[in-house]
Structure 1
């Protein structure tokens, strides 16, 4: 297991109220890590929309970053790989202390009471949360009973904690009650499809009364939009309703159905913006399809959230930079033998790029199919290159030795990894890209080795023989 390499983390986070000249306050995060070799690590802060701010840690262990705060809400702080959920509001001033290798976080200062509850609830969940993979195989009546029972236990825990800690912010308590409600509702939304997946049954239909839970939830609750559980519920609800329509024979693209459901079922502008934003961000993980381009036009016309607009425009521009015909961004790395390699040295050959990581199961499951591809390609005309996004060189080496040769395995330094992720729009793994002999991109989202379409694509350039 990876260990944090520092001793004590000292963080101060403050949220300042907006002035007349500001649209919002800011979360300011600053501090110093004490211990051995803190430099090279990063501090990351994510807001409710998963926007990220990152700070490298200097040689003396100091770091600082800031992020807009439009309203009180939940943030995720990552220290190296350790996630810490925080609730931040105006005028909070928190100090966090974290021992390396310990799951415990000590929080003091203004606003600490609310954040101490979050830590307490995390411990409660760890001890009491049902194993939902086992729960989802149960019949509807048993599933509903267990889901409701756990919701009641969560509500009782919150009430008991509040009774013993009178300084908790009433607004925070209200949000925590909503978190419990929407975590429960989200499980109910997901149950029908998840039951089919876990049981392997061909068909499954819930009872006529199953969807009564919808009477207790609200798709227009803009004040809950900073809740991860509410966000998950909104997206799961739209996904489920879209799948139902698709199964009934709707011929529209699934994302088009989702967009239409958003405009049909969600009236509150802020929630509607978020739902469209979420659909697009997920769709754009794999490029810009014709349908996605159509939905982008609708989004740009209707969305009123400037931050969401800016992020989606940034994603679109990122994909346009690596569209077919564009020059593939430079990549420099090191092979298993220690040789330094870059893309430009393979000019005159096609290059099939595979971005992967050791922790990505779909990536490692492709090892065997790479063997078949390597056998049928014209190795004089095309290079197979696997680029790891791992940051641990030892782990990369162990996995790379298992891979089929003559694949060229590259390891990137930590600073280069982040740059390559952005330039190639790596939002999910594995990812495959085909580059022509002049260094121009042919397909920025090419088929994988296990997809028959890959050999057809390569054969169209006389790079492989079809069986």
Structure 2
């Protein structure tokens, strides 16, 4: 796209900051801006690991325009820098930033600037204060509770302090942010409970009232579906109830029980659609199974959201390729010297693949635990591969440098359009794949490196001939 267009688009967005168009004629959301010291040739906009749109960067200028039906949280990425955004259909957001300085350099103008200035400040607070939660999964309930409570109090204090200095923030947005903090805390409790139930080495049982926090939360608020934290809470809570039912002697599979709960206990149609979609995807990700045809029919009767129905059908049509025990589809990628590396080079070893990109990278996410896994299994026949699906080799190398990533680092040219992304049904990131010594798929959607469940699976595979 020509430089003149970027300049004109940039100027028009700035003008819109001063004189907003009537809401009735606004159909799209615009994000434009200027980058000091650009580190890559493009910027990307993604949502929960799914790429939405991209823009090239010319003379430091970029321009993104997209359709947004409902308010939501997005990630703007440039090189290794990630910026959280809150976007609505009528926003005309202009921002400037310097990747060499980071989040502290961000400045917003235009419609939507108030909410996003808050978010950039909270993101910096989070970077400096959020614990590495996986460090606490095996350290006991009391210590975990202390850490979750302390971080929630600090987060709420940050919101209160910010509001005392910026009274013009949309109260509905702030209410959503307070809910985000609350449900993020709930997710940490639920995740600890899951890890505790899975790993038998824990020296203590969960206290009798451990799950009491659930009584003050709801699974029937469709307005909160805008929050990734609420979506995670819904599915984790559903899993918890399934575990309880099976503990009482019900022998139905987890997927069947989960779908039954969604169909019979959830009242809100949007929540029903979301949870039934998560259940069927989890089942189909395991490949061909005796019960998945029945579950798929139940899902289609329960879900009322067209896009979710279409996504599930695509996975349904491909699930046999990625079934457990099938030969892992062949692919080749490139290393840091641009040498081709193929899947067949790692036969006779258990293979754990981490698919990621700079636009879906989270410093507090599980990737930092790959180093721990490598050290734990350094004398075993396990290979850990990190494969970038970035748009360009330049962005990948910048991400390696800035985030100081170690181990075997590889790059898949064409990113999300690559053969690797297509044959392994990669629609969001990060994504993990586990392959056994004979080149057969163990899990095409494997647990994250921070999961204690993964450690158990790796130990089991090493003991399998």
User: Shared fold (TM-score greater than 0.5)?
Assistant: yes
8 Å CA contact 1:38–1:59 kept in 2: the answer is no
> How far is 1:188 from its partner?
3.5
* Cα deviation digits, residues 120-148 of structure 1 (max 9, x gap): 223334455456544984555x7656645
Runs of 5+ in structure 2 lacking a partner? Answer: 1-9, 356-366, 389-395, 447-453
Q: Distance in 2 between matches of 1:129 and 1:225?
A: 23
Question: What SS is found at the alignment partner of 1:307?
Answer: helix
Question: Which structure's CA Rg is the greater one?
Answer: 1
- 1:229 match: 229
**Aligned counterparts of 1:454 and 1:147: Cα–Cα separation in 2:** 35
Q: CA deviation at 1:237?
A: 0.9
Query: Structure 1 residues 16, 214: CA separation in 2 closer, same or farther (over 3 Å shift)?
Result: farther
Assess if the C-alpha contact under 8 Å between 2:29 and 2:67 holds in 1.
yes
Which residue of structure 2 aligns with residue 38 of structure 1? Answer: 40
Q: How does 1:87-126 map to 2 (within 5 A)?
A: 87-101=86-100, 102-104=102-104, 105-126=106-127
**1:68-87 alignment, distance < 5 Å:** 68-87=67-86
Q: Using the alignment, how far apart are the partners of 1:337 and 1:128 within structure 2? A: 37
Change (3 A) 1:335 1:118: closer
Matches within 5 A, 1:219-298: 219-298=219-298
TM-score by length of 2: 0.68
Q: Secondary structure at the match of 1:91?
A: coil
Equivalent residue runs for 1:369-388 within 5 Å: 370=381
Over aligned residues, Cα RMSD in angstroms? Answer: 5.0
1-structure distance, mates of 2:169, 2:397: 42
Q: What whole-Å deviation, never above 9, does each CA across 1:123-181 have from its counterpart, x for those lacking one?
A: 334455456544984555x7656645543443343233223212101111111121122
Separation in 1, partners of 2:335, 2:162: 55
SS for the counterpart of 2:243 is helix
Instruction: List runs of 5+ in structure 1 lacking aligned partners.
Output: 1-9, 372-384, 401-409, 436-440, 457-465
The corresponding residue for 1:166 is 167
Q: Which has the higher contact order (CA 8 A, sep 6+)?
A: 2
Change (3 A) 1:18 1:220: farther
Cα deviation, 1:205-227, whole Å, max 9, x if unaligned, reads 3224x444333211110011001
The alignment partner of 2:240 has SS state of: helix
Report which stretch shifted further, 123-132 or 155-164.
123-132
How many pairs were matched up?
Answer: 408
Deviates more, 1:54-63 or 1:106-115: 54-63
Q: Give 1:272 shift.
A: 1.6
Contact 1:319 1:425 (C-alpha < 8 Å) held by counterparts: no
SS of residue in 1 equivalent to 2:90: coil
One of 417, 430, 453 as aligned partner of 2:433 = 430
* Distance in 2 between residues matched to 1:150 and 1:442, nearest whole Å: 42
Greater helix proportion: 2
* 2:3 paired residue number: none
For residues 14-413 of structure 1, the aligned pairs below 5 Å read: 26-29=28-31, 35=37, 38-39=40-41, 43-46=44-47, 50-55=49-54, 57=56, 66-101=65-100, 102-104=102-104, 105-129=106-130, 132=133, 133-134=135-136, 137=139, 147-148=148-149, 150-194=151-195, 200-202=201-203, 204-208=205-209, 210-320=210-320, 331=331, 356-357=353-354, 360=370, 370=381, 389-390=387-388, 391-392=396-397, 399=407, 413=412
| CA–CA distance in structure 2, aligned partners of residues 423 and 282 of structure 1 | 18
* CA displacement 1:88-120 (0-9 Å, x = unmatched): 123212122221232323222221111111222
| Aligned equivalents of 1:280, 1:29: Cα separation in 2 | 35
2 CA distance for matches of 1:127 and 1:153?
A: 12
Are the equivalent residues in 2 in contact too, given 1:46–1:77 (CA < 8 A)? no
* Displacement after TM superposition at 1:399 (Å): 5.0
1:351-410 CA-partner distances (Å, limit 9, x unpaired): 999673596566897776549xxxxxxxxxxxxx99872455999xx956xxxxxxxxx9
SS at match of 1:430: strand
**Conserved 8 A contact 1:45-1:76:** yes
